[in-house]
Amino acid sequence: MIPEWKELRKKSRTVFVLNKPYFAIAEKYTLLQKKFHTDDFIEKAFLWFDMVFYPLYIFYQCCMLDFSVMYIFALTKTYQLWFDWLHLRELQEDIDSWVKTVKSMGGPWIASNDPEKHIFVYADAMERILLSRRLGLTKKLRKGPK
In a domain, 113, yes or no: yes
Taking the C-alpha atoms of residue 24 and residue 99, their distance in angstroms, rounded to an integer, is: 16
Q: Which residues of the chain have pLDDT under 50?
A: 141
Q: Residue 69 has what pLDDT?
A: 82
Taking the C-alpha atoms of residue 18 and residue 102, their distance in angstroms, rounded to an integer, is: 13
Q: Residue 49 has what pLDDT?
A: 93
Q: Residue 3 has what pLDDT?
A: 67
Residue whose C-alpha is closest to residue 71's, from 81, 56, 86, 85: 56
In a domain, 11, yes or no: no
H helix runs in the chain, sequence order = 5-11, 22-36, 41-48, 54-63, 70-104, 119-143
Tally of structural domains, the chain: 1
Q: Residue 119 has what pLDDT?
A: 93
Q: How many alpha carbons fall within 13 Å on the CB side of residue 56?
A: 5
In a domain, 3, yes or no: no
In a domain, 8, yes or no: no
Side chain identity at 145, as an amino acid letter? Answer: P
In a domain, 64, yes or no: yes
Q: Residue 134 has what pLDDT?
A: 75
In a domain, 12, yes or no: no
pLDDT tens sequence across 62-87: 888 887 888 888 899 999 999 999 99
State which residues form the domain around 120. 21-135
In a domain, 140, yes or no: no
Q: Residue 141 has what pLDDT?
A: 41
